[in-house]
Amino acid sequence: MSSKIMFSNLRAEMARENITIQDIAKVLNRSRETVSSKLSGKSVLNLDEAFKINDTFFPKSDLRTLFSELIVKNEKSA
């Protein structure tokens, strides 16, 4: 079983900017547990949520870089 960390670029930026999962949960109007599940890949993080996180916390960062795993996953399913 793989222990790959999902959204590693996002998590690195969160650490640099002191953004917590709870901060993101508030913006998405979700529980901390739900957001944690989404960021760990256990449940689906949709593109609308990715855009909201990007626009709110990391407006100067490229969405494709922060959410590269999500972009690749969507391209494969298209």
List domains and CATH numbers for the chain.
8-77 (1.10.260)
Closest CA to 52 of 41, 67, 42: 67
* pTM to 2 decimal places: 0.84
pLDDT the model gives residue 63 = 93
Q: What is the pLDDT of residues 12-61, one digit of tens each?
A: 999 999 999 999 999 999 999 999 999 998 999 999 999 999 999 999 99
CA-based radius of gyration for the chain: 12
pLDDT the model gives residue 77 = 62
> In the block, which residue shows the tokens 């901390």?
32
How far is 78 from 71, CA to CA, in rounded Å?
A: 11
